[in-house]
Amino acid sequence: MTDIPDDLFAYDPLDDEATAADTDILVGDPLATARALDAADPLAHYRERFVGVAAPGAAGAHSAPDLGAASPVVAYFDGNSLGRPTRASVERVHRFLVEGWGGRLIRGWDEEWMELPFRIGDALGETALGAAAGQAFIGDSTTVLLYKLARAAVDSLPERSEIVLDTDNFPTDRYVLDGIARERGLSLVWIEADTESGVTPEQVAAAIGPRTALVVLSHVAYRSGFLADARAITRIVHDAGALVLWDLCHSAGSVPVDLDEWDADLAVGCTYKYLNGGPGSPAFGYVNRRLQRRLTQPIHGWMGVRDVFLMGPEYQPADGIRRFISGTPPIVGMLALQDTVAMIGECGIDAVRAKSVDLTTFAVRLADTWLTPLGVTLASPRDPARRGGHVTLSHPAMREVTARLWERDVIPDYRDPDGLRIGLSPLSTSFEEVAVGLAAVRDVLGELITE
């Protein structure tokens, strides 16, 4: 892998005081602009806490050899799909294997592990979900938690017969809800969502009624990055007497979430994206305190009962949030996310969001200048207030562009139709990385067009 030359961008230098939101940001050299933005970034120092990142001002440079890290990629645009590991997490997992598991053995359950899903859940709730203690937990996969909480919700309203969802929600949400509808003899009511934006309060109001039991929506759309008006939608759903379950997979750790303030009923989300929990790390669930005694989740397991070691003949659900746990918690899988939760606690989710807006705004401006002339369109909201932490760029060649970029160690991902997603995790991504990566997109797409 070779270093990226400073003269990659054929523009004159730009004033060092430029910001990502400036309308004339690309008058000069975008690489110089990116480096100026990095120099002014109050969160830039968090980047060095991640394994495999390049040193500032040296795209492609080696990093973290003490941790055995491979050469870093030129640009990582997939933090919204799988976040980078933190250095602290490498140390935490190693320490756990040697001291926690190796040293304490089964005593670890009594000493810490039994309560770890709730302790981490409370920390996550405080720093990233806007949830008071006793309402969030770390549990199963996102798919399983979606099933458990959605089934509990519809079962609590047996007089109602409809589930409302949208056509562009993530496949797991749609598949799980279809299965629940078949199990319980319910009907699905579909909101036709624009794949380049998302579901609006007006659409929800038109879709719900006296038969609605549950509405399930994503706070940030996985394809376009559209940021839904969760507060308004929750109020509309409640006015109809129904419950709402928010999918926070593309929200948690990237945009502010205020579950308690929204008066949300239920939420689920994964921890391996912006929370950097690692591949397949367990999801989190949220159940509003006012619903915890009312709801009965359908997967009755020994860890969700009042007295785990009573080993009684009947399932007696625990009081509080523990009743939504089923089997033995995946302790090793939930270790790493604690370090990112702690970082968010240090800097604050509002600061994370501010950098996210700057990163995506910078990416959009670069795309406008470099990619629009090549036929690329923006398949995400242009208004940053309506956009989450990623942007999608559309062109018929993007599937092949993505494959060729991976060969060059530039890592976005692809989503139909024709979408190249640029996922920018605020704590681990630099502005220089954005500029270098989008220059590669420009070059690869230009090559394909001229072949």
Residues annotated as part of the active site: 170, 247, 272-273, 421
The secondary structure element, H or E, covering residue 38 is helix 30-40
**In whole angstroms, what is the distance from residue 116 CA to residue 109 CA?**
9
Q: Residue 393: which of 365, 425, 421 has the closest Cα?
A: 421
Strands 377-378 and 390-394 come out as: antiparallel
| Phi and psi, residue 297, nearest 5° | -80, 150
Cα–Cα distances in Å, from 97 out to 91, 102, 120, 320?
10, 6, 19, 31
**In whole angstroms, what is the distance from residue 403 CA to residue 278 CA?**
23
**In whole angstroms, what is the distance from residue 195 CA to residue 149 CA?**
26
Neighbours of 314 (CB within 10 A): 6
Cα–Cα distances in Å, from 115 out to 97, 123, 181, 332, 441?
18, 12, 34, 14, 46
Residues 6+ apart with CB under 8 A from 243: 153, 156, 157, 213, 214, 215, 237, 265, 266, 291
**In whole angstroms, what is the distance from residue 61 CA to residue 4 CA?**
9
Query: Which strands make up the sheet holding 419-423, listed edge to edge?
Result: 377-378, 390-394, 419-423, 413-415
